[in-house]
Amino acid sequence: MINLLFTVVFTEMTMILILLFRNPLRKLVILGMNQLKQGKGPLVAKTVATTLIVVFTSVLHNALQIRKRLLDTGAVNSTDEILMADRILEATLLGFCLFLAMMIDRLHYYIKDLFLVRNDLEEVKRLNQLDYKDKRIPTE
């Protein structure tokens, strides 16, 4: 599971870098994300996020149980230490994965909004230039 989480985190970080900087892949990624957010896409994304949150809380609960067992016995067991380190690593990676997914969603939203604002601004500039030309013609 940890290898899978490392792969997911690496993929999400790559997506964030693609969205942050202008490059040929950015437009393709944005179009793909637009397609994913239509139809059943949001439902699937919410289901996956909910599943990750449930697994995250389960891993945290297991880590807390191991910690409680360590405190109750008073003796340090090497197996429990290894299990605790593994659970903490899993919880950290799951939390980071959820955070990066939220960052990708927000970046997509802001880039899409920025694109719409730029188009509106260009249209207003074009209309202002046409109005200026129309007003200039009769005075000549």
Q: With 0.85 as the threshold, say if the pTM is over it.
A: no
The rounded distance, in Å, linking the Cα atoms of 31 and 18 is 13
CA angle, 76 then 78 then 79, to 5° = 120
User: Torsion-angle region of residue 74: left (phi > 0), alpha (psi -120 to 50) or beta?
Assistant: left
CA angle, 98 then 80 then 57, to 5° = 25
Backbone phi and psi for residue 23, each to the nearest 5 degrees, phi listed first: -155, 170
Tally of CB atoms within 10 A around 84: 19
Per-residue pLDDT in tens (0 to 9) along the chain, 140 residues: 778 888 888 899 999 999 999 888 999 999 988 888 888 888 888 898 899 899 999 999 998 998 888 888 888 788 888 988 999 999 899 889 889 989 998 999 999 999 999 999 999 999 888 887 777 665 55
